Structure 1
Amino acid sequence: MTALVLVHGLYHRPEHFAVVADRLRSTGAEVVVPELHRGSLAADTAAVQSVVDALDEGPIVLGHSYGGSVITGVRGAGHLVYLAAFVPDVGESAAGMGGASPQLRDAITPEPDGSTSLHPERAVDALYGDCSGPLAARAVGLLRAQAPGCGRGVPEHHSWKDTPSTYVVCAHDRAVDPGLQRTMASRCTDVREWRTGHSPFVGQPDLVVGLLRELLAAATTTTPRP
């Protein structure tokens, strides 16, 4: 059976995908949620590449936000899912394409060691504005500090050029401009649009689970690696 690899964005942790992962696993799906924050886009991409390489066949690989830059550089996926995510072309980075919205930039707080973190209340507005209070509070509590520079990383490979892909535009996003998302979505094979904020895996996990189950049903066990 085709596996699923879920790749989180900046400041996030694998635990942010816990509800989605648990619901998919309850139906027998193999789900891997690698930890990023390795210090650079190249290191984060290598971490996900090692997961993909360990699987028997090309998995469905979902990247959220900055995670789109990560999955763009990964080889061997059977299908790519960009969830409000960056789809960089040659020479492009997430930061260079527009990066964080004014709301998200306003939430970024410098730390003494050179890393940055997100101000909790401002992070709710930018990332989880359409989530219930308890869900938003849990998600904010999971956020972690981020080493500088990852968003300026440029992928060395561009897997969306030779791998089927689905882009999900989050129309009420306050972190990555929906207009920019639609522009990036034009690079993908298929486009969906949800009336959600930046983090539907927190506020509306059923949408994410439903899409991934649909893609799993369409996948074949003989899908070759690109």
Structure 2
Amino acid sequence: MAAVVLVHGLYHRPEHFAEVAEQVRASGTEVVVPELHRGSLLADTAAVQAAVDALREPAILLGHSYGGSVITGVSGAGHLVYLAAFVPDAGESAAGLGGASSRLKAAIRPGPGGSTSLCPDLATAALYDDCPEPFAARAVDLLRAQAPGCGRGVPERQSWKDTPSTYVVCARDRAVDPGLQRRMASRCTDVREWQTGHSPFVGRPRLVVGLLRELLASDFWRNAHT
């Protein structure tokens, strides 16, 4: 039996993945959702690496948005899922690849010590525009301040070069340009495209759960890890 590690993006928390985690756990799969916000991409990657190393089963790693940069630097995964996420090559960062859209950048507000936060109304329009209002409101309430520089971090390795991967393009995304997503998706083994905004784990969690269950049940996964 495999495990699943869910890796959130900038400004987000593990609680944003609560519904997905609960549904996947209901089928008997171990699910881990590490807390990022460790101050740098290197530190965030180390936190996820520690979570993967602690598992007794091979893991599917799903990274959302900036979380793609994190899972790119992690070794030992059985499969990588990039959900509207960044797929950096050697020497590249999320910011260098194109980073946030102008709509999301307009939502960013400066804070103490170089930190930033998101204006709630503008964050809703960029991140959760297609989510039911109560779910979007809860997701915005969960957002937290972000330390500076993480999006400019460069992964020390590129795990997608030697690990099977699936890229999910969110075609109605207002936070990361879908055209950029399609270009990054060309680096992955498999590509899917959903007609969603940036955060389907909030608005349409069953889509995310269905993909994870599909991968867990796939012949490739069973044959590679038996």
Q: What is the aligned partner in structure 2 of residue 173 from structure 1?
A: 173
Q: What is the aligned partner in structure 2 of residue 63 from structure 1?
A: 63
CA contact (8 A) 1:127 1:197 kept: yes
Q: What is the aligned partner in structure 1 of residue 183 from structure 2?
A: 183
Q: Which runs of 4+ in 1 moved over 4 A?
A: none
Name the SS for the 1:146 alignment partner.
coil
Matched, 1:220 2:222: yes
Distance in 2 between residues matched to 1:152 and 1:113, nearest whole Å: 17
Q: What is the aligned partner in structure 2 of residue 39 from structure 1?
A: 39
| Residues 95-134 of structure 1 aligned to structure 2 (within 5 Å) | 95-134=95-134
Distance in 2 between residues matched to 1:52 and 1:132, nearest whole Å: 33
Distance in 1 between residues matched to 2:85 and 2:59, nearest whole Å: 18
CA drift at 1:220: 2.1
CA drift at 1:56: 1.9
Distance in 2 between residues matched to 1:221 and 1:8, nearest whole Å: 29
Distance in 2 between residues matched to 1:33 and 1:172, nearest whole Å: 25
Extract unaligned runs of 5+ from structure 1: none
Letter in 2 for 1:181: Q
CA contact (8 A) 1:101 1:175 kept: yes
The share of aligned pairs that are identical, in percent, is 78
Q: What is the aligned partner in structure 2 of residue 158 from structure 1?
A: 158
Name the SS for the 1:113 alignment partner.
helix
Q: TM-score, normalised by structure 1?
A: 0.97
Moved more, 132-141 or 55-64: 55-64
CA drift at 1:221: 7.4
Distance in 2 between residues matched to 1:194 and 1:35, nearest whole Å: 26
* Cα RMSD (Å): 1.0
Distance in 2 between residues matched to 1:158 and 1:27, nearest whole Å: 31
CA contact (8 A) 1:2 1:221 kept: no
Name the SS for the 2:134 alignment partner.
helix
CA deviations over 1:125-146 (Å, ceiling 9, x no partner): 0000001111110000000000
CA drift at 1:122: 0.1
Distance in 2 between residues matched to 1:23 and 1:51, nearest whole Å: 20
CA contact (8 A) 1:10 1:66 kept: yes
Distance in 1 between residues matched to 2:118 and 2:41, nearest whole Å: 20
CA drift at 1:57: 3.3
CA contact (8 A) 1:64 1:84 kept: yes
Q: What is the aligned partner in structure 2 of residue 203 from structure 1?
A: 203
Distance in 1 between residues matched to 2:4 and 2:205, nearest whole Å: 15
CA contact (8 A) 1:57 1:221 kept: no
Number of equivalent positions: 224
Q: What is the aligned partner in structure 1 of residue 81 from structure 2?
A: 81
Q: What is the aligned partner in structure 2 of residue 52 from structure 1?
A: 52
Q: What is the aligned partner in structure 1 of residue 194 from structure 2?
A: 194
Q: TM-score, normalised by structure 2?
A: 0.97
Distance in 1 between residues matched to 2:195 and 2:224, nearest whole Å: 34
Distance in 2 between residues matched to 1:58 and 1:172, nearest whole Å: 32
Letter in 2 for 1:44: D
Letter in 2 for 1:220: R
Distance in 2 between residues matched to 1:119 and 1:28, nearest whole Å: 38
